[in-house]
Amino acid sequence: MNYRITHRTTYAYSSRVAVSHHAARLRPRDTDTQRCIEFGLSFDPEPDLLTEHTDSFGNQVACFSIQKLHARFEVVSRSLVTLAPVLQPDPAQTPPWEQVAALFRDPVPVDLLDPCQFVFRSPLLVHEMPLRDFALPSFKPGRPVLAAVADLCSRIHREFVFDPKATTISTPLAEVLEKKRGVCQDFAHLAIASLRAMGLPARYISGYLRTHPPAGKPRLVGVDASHAWAACFVPGFGWVDFDPTNDCFTSLDHITVAIGRDFSDVSPVRGIITGGGKHSVEVGVDVEPVGGA
């Protein structure tokens, strides 16, 4: 499956900005089942400085500075990505969740040190008893770990309402848990924090989700979305991605861009500015199947 992706982020300021510094994580990752064949960034205005590096999670980061007066700024990424089917393990054939959690208590085997970093609290996610209490019904004694994850995923989808107006980027997870409303970022955070509360490694994934038009309707340009989901580490299988917003394991509709402990590690575009007053931001994403698939 091939996709051509356009991601446009536009900032408008009420007064002119003198200097701005930004970091963007917009290049789709290369994985066992995904390859980024083409990638490019364009800017308006053009940055005065531009550098690139790879962060500690393997994400490509573009850092750029604009050192001239501007009242508007736009960055556009264009990618061509190819995906192969993901071979998902049978949840019933995965090891018991208690056995997996035990591997990540001291002493941790050397070959598990990388996933071990995703067991601990992170900038936006802390261990709280309500999260363990929320997770426990899915984690029956001896239950295979991916069967428990699938049940947790279904419960989040069933018990929480997708509501773009209910939360912001800064809404605490405790409030999401109380109101039972939020967006994909909130549901990914909830799943990750719940798994970590059970002693299991879980990480955050940002990317794109291809949307399907209603039957008989044409595909609309620009209505696809940035998306967020989660992954759990399963010994013998590796990382297994799942999407609590849509109650599924990931498929050919999910395109991975960045991986981290939580959203703070993978924000698509973030920065600091001098001046600018109030500002607004608009984001548009188009995920176009190549060949009309």
Number of CB atoms found within 10 A of residue 84's CB: 12
Using a 10 angstrom Cβ sphere, with 0-12 exposed, 13-18 middle and 19 or more buried, the burial of residue 63 is middle
Cis peptide leading into 107, omega within 30 of 0? yes
Q: What is the model's pLDDT at position 220?
A: 42
Protein fold of 91-265: C8orf32 fold (3.10.620)
Instruction: Write down the domain spans for the chain.
Output: 2-84+267-289, 91-265
The residue among 65, 29, 71, 31 whose CA lies nearest residue 50 is: 65
**129, two tokens:** 């008893």
Q: If you average pLDDT over residues 263-291, what whole number do you get?
A: 89
C-alpha neighbours within 13 Å on the C-beta side of residue 175? 10
If you ran DSSP here, which 8-state letter would residue 194 be given? H
3-state secondary structure of 253: coil
Q: How confident is the model over 187-224, as pLDDT tens digits?
A: 999 999 999 999 999 999 999 988 766 565 554 443 46
Q: Could you confirm whether domain 2-84+267-289 is CATH 2.40.10.170?
A: no
Task: Give the distance from CA 235 to its chain's centroid.
Answer: 22
**110, two tokens:** 């050397």
Helix, strand and coil content of the chain, in percent to the nearest 5, comes to 25, 40, 35
Say whether pTM exceeds 0.85. yes
The residue among 210, 228, 215 whose CA lies nearest residue 1 is: 210
Q: What is the model's pLDDT at position 224?
A: 66
Q: How confident is the model over 65-100, as pLDDT tens digits?
A: 999 999 999 999 999 999 999 888 999 999 999 999
Cβ contact 77:6 at 8 Å: yes
Q: What is the mean pLDDT of the chain?
A: 91
The residue among 103, 105, 100, 102 whose CA lies nearest residue 143 is: 100
